[in-house]
Each structure stands twice: as C-alpha cells, then as structure tokens.
A and B are shown apart, each in its own frame.
With several copies, the nearest count.
Chain A
Amino acid sequence: MSTVAEKRALICFIAALLKGCNHVAVGASSPIPGTAALLAKEAWDSPRHVNILGSVKNNFLTNGGQELFDCAAQGRIDAFFLGGGQIDGQANINLMGRGEYPSCEPRWPGTFGSAYLYFLIPKVILFREEHSKRVLVDKVDFISAPGTSDENIYRKGGPYGLLTNKAFFRFQKEKARFHLEFIHPSSSLEDILDNTGFEFDYKANTLITADPDPELLKLLDNKVSSKVKEVYPQFSHSIFKRD
C-alpha cells in the first residue's frame, strides 16, 4: 500500500468516525483530520459545521482566539484531534518534551490547548501517523493532558480512540486502557505488538481495517479536493493526482 493510498484510507477512516457529529474543529496543521472532516460534511452533511483553525476562510469563529475554548466548554464542539510526541497506554499525552521538565531534550512546542480541550470535547481522536515505541510509550515523561480523571473531576470529554498508520485502538474509559480494534492492511498483530510501547487489550482475530469505500474516495477526488487545496495547498498536492 503506497503512502498516498494509506493517507487516503486514513482520511476515509476518520471521516466515518465523525459521522453523527454536529461540529468538528481541526487544528491548522492537521491536514488528514481536516480533509476527513470536510469529506464527512460533503458525504453526509454530518458534521454540519467544520472549523479549520488558523485558516481565515474555513473558520467561522468570530470572537477571537478564546472562542474555540469557550465553544468547547459550552458543549458545542463534538469532536477534535490531538497528537503528541508521546502517548501512553492510559491515553495521557505529552506535547512538552522528552526528559525531565523543564530541561526537556528535545523540547517540543508546548501543551497548546490540550490540557483543556481533552476534558471538554466528547470525542477526542488521538491521531499520530508514526506508530513506534518512541511515540507510543508506557508512561509519558510529562502529562500535558491526562487520559482519565477521578470521579470528582469535572470532565465532559476525553479520548475516543487512537489512530496510527498501523492500527486503530478504541479507548476503554472504565479500564483506562486501549483495545486494539482494527489492524490496517499494511500491518499485522505482530508488527503492532513489536512497535507499541504500552500494553493493550486485543483479540487474536482482530479485524483488518476495511478498504475505503470507493464512493467516498470518488467524492474526495471530485468534490472535496478543491476545498482541501484552499486550506492545505502542499498536502493537497501530495494526495490528489490532478494537481
């Protein structure tokens, strides 16, 4: 499976996860989730509202940088994406850096809004293409945002699942543990066990991720590509032929 095909498959996979949402917000430098959200809107008019942060044209927020966070706190954002330099088996994420804070090495940009949005958006999809023991660790070095919270903590949202270029894990809130749900065709259970730094639940007969629906791919090429080009010009160049 080529990288282009893989990316297109991830887009379709994410799009399906967003079905049923009313409002999906996506970070500016998240072309795969962003494209997926635009595709889902085109395919099912669900999400009805897609907000690409940092973009002028595809961002309908008008109340300044604070609005995204207020909107999440109001319960008006249904799904969002977070990544992380490290993600551990309890869905804790680390965007701060490796090693002991504050002298991280490397130091990554910082926590952004993760320490907040992870608590307030019902469906947070952890998305990180690289599937390795370097990224998927047993314990993150710094908790930018915790995957779970005690009962007394006000928490309306949290991790829904973790998508990589090898697999999709569903997060089990009660157990605070991932469950392997789909293995992408390019990978295998052994490959995943070898490259995952945390323990997770799985069945021997874990399903292989289905190939993307050809109709959805057609829609992506015919209807969504022009919008993607506006928002993510370089990325669009890499996944659409007729550029």
Chain B
Amino acid sequence: MTISVQELVNLIPYGTKLAIPADYAGVAMEATRALIRKGVRNLHIVGVPTSGLQSELLIGAGCVSIFESSALTLGEYNPAYRFSDAVKNKSIDLVDATCPAIHAGLQASQKGIPYMPLRGILGSDLLKHHPNWKIIQNPFSQGDDPIVAIPAIQPDISLFHAPLGDKQGNVWVGRRRELVTMAQASKTTLVTVENIVDTNLLDDEKTAAGVIPSLYIGGVSVCPKGSWPLDFWQGDTEDTEHLNLYKQKSRTKEGFQDYLNEFVFSREHS
C-alpha cells in the first residue's frame, strides 16, 4: 500500500497549506527535494513550531508564498541566507508566531474548535503584526483579564519523516506527539518512513502507544535516510560536511542555484 516519493509529492498541489515539523522531529527532506523538482508553487508553510533547512530550500527555490512559524533556524549553520533574502525582498509573506501558539492553533483544529485562548504574548510585537490573533476578555474573570485567542490552524496536508510504518497504513512516531497533533489537525497526512514492518503496529501495546492510525494517513512512502542531510532522531546524525557546503553555496542566489542543480534537480532517488 506504499507509494513512491514522486507519487507522494504529486498529492501536494499548488497552494497547499503544508504543515512540517521542526528539524528534531523528523523532516521529509527527500520528499522536499521531489517537491522542488515537481516545481510546486504558492505553498503556505506552517512550521511546527519552527522550521529549518526544509523551508530554507523551499523558499530559495521559489515554492513558498506564506511562511507561518515561530522561527526559521539552521541552528549552528545560521544565518539562513535564502530566507533572509526573501524577507528583505518581501518575496514571501510572513506570519510570525510563537511556538505554543502554533501548537495551540493546531490543537484547536484537532478539537474542531474555532480558537484556543492562550496566556502570555500580550505586549509582544508579534500581536501587532499577526493577521489572525485577537485579544479577548476571559469570560470567567470578574476583573479586566485580557487573553489572546489563537484561531485554529488547519493545514491541508502534514508532511514528515517517521521511523516505521506497517502494511495497514499505520505510522509509528513514538514520543514525537506534535506529529499526532499535526496529523489530526490536518485534512490529511503524507509520510515518508525508514522502513515498513511486517506486523501490525497496533498489535503490540508497546508500539501502539506511539502510532498514528491509518485513518489519518493519506499516503506512505518508503524512503530510507529520508531526512538526509538533517539528523533523524531514530537514525543517522546530520551530515555536517554537506550542511557546511550548503552554508557556503547558499550565500548567493547563483550558488544556491548550483546547489539545487547538483543536489536536487540532477538526483532522483526514487
């Protein structure tokens, strides 16, 4: 029941509101390269709660029109030159948030509620610029008690990389439970996995505890080392040399184009 990475990304049309996880939670980098090859445009990225190289590549390749997240960080490899450029040139719209607000927006969608109230944030300049947040009064407080209402964020698709899938279409994400929230909050979810197991992941209560059931999954593709060159919490560590190379190349638009030509357009892993 699995499909190729190419078939997987063909399920992501122009203009998709696409939720992707932070670098530590399993990023579908191979699928991202396939997405760039396919030439997708106008993505509304939701980085949960932040994003990294994946968004940097998509933005640099011109696939993104809206970037909604709490940060775009390459960690030790900062700054993200293509992102910085896009910000400077206003070639993408920014929806800058704070991590718990991204989580709360997804949880509101998960629960089918229009919004979730959230403490904090008041007095942050984020509030001045965010297009959707509202300050409301806490209805249970006698006195003046403003609180921020975070409207639901419903992505069209969540896309990530996970350690295991099974033949029934279930996916194991362990304690990366933001992926569960993302899957439930989104209309559907596409996953690349390191491996497909022969058993049903729900049959063993130990693995069942970390499973996203097939009900929420719209497509699974087997893609070993699918998060390269990023590290994977249940797999390889990051490819330091490659990331340093990226940092060098991406300083200029031309260098970035060279990088894409060499590592994205000329390579079809699946």
Contact = CB atoms under 8 A, between A and B. Distances in A.
Asked whether A and B interact, the reply is: yes
Interface of A: 23, 28-29, 49, 54, 56, 60-67, 69-76, 95-97, 101-120, 142-146, 149, 152-154
14 contacts: A56-B205, A63-B177, A64-B178, A65-B177, A65-B178, A73-B113, A74-B110, A102-B96, A104-B87, A107-B79, A108-B79, A111-B124, A144-B124, A145-B123
B24 A63 contact: no
Question: Which 10 A-B pairs rank lowest in CB-CB distance, beginning with the nearest?
Answer: A73-B112, A64-B177, A110-B71, A69-B100, A146-B123, A109-B73, A119-B120, A116-B120, A65-B178, A113-B99
A64 B119 contact: no
A99 to B, nearest CB: 10
Nearest to B83: A107
Contacts of A71: 184, 215
Contacts of A65: 21-22, 25, 48-49, 99, 103, 176-178
Contact of A146 (B99, B124, B210, B211): B124
B118 to A, nearest CB: 7
A71 B111 CA distance: 8
Interface stretch (B141-149, B219-227, B246-254): B141-149
Nearest to B47: A110
Contact of B99 (A69, A105, A107): A69
B192 interface: no
Interface string B206-230: 0011111111100000000000000
Interface in B105-143: 107, 109-113, 118-126, 129, 143
Most chain B CB inside 10 Å of its own CB: which residue of A56, A111, A112, A143: A111
B84 A149 contact: no
A115 B124 contact: yes
B72 A70 contact: no
Nearest to B99: A113
B146 A63 contact: no
Interface of A: prevailing SS: loop
A112 B98 contact: yes
Contacts of A60: 170, 202, 213-215
A13 to B, nearest CB: 25
A96 B96 contact: yes
B126 A144 contact: yes
Nearest to B170: A60
Most chain A CB inside 10 Å of its own CB: which residue of B72, B120, B124, B205: B120
A29 B50 CA distance: 14
Contacts of A152: 143-146
Given A66-B100, A154-B119, A107 B145 contact: no
Contact of B103 (A28, A69, A105): A69
Given A56-B205, A66-B100, A101-B125, 10 more contacts: A62-B177, A65-B21, A65-B49, A74-B112, A74-B184, A101-B96, A105-B88, A110-B73, A114-B98, A115-B98
Nearest to B75: A29
Contacts of A106: 79, 84
A149 B252 CA distance: 42
A63 B184 contact: yes
A10 to B, nearest CB: 20
Contacts of B94: 102
Given A109-B72, A115-B124, A146-B124, A62 B145 contact: no
A64 B126 CA distance: 24
B10 interface: no
Contacts of B233: 56
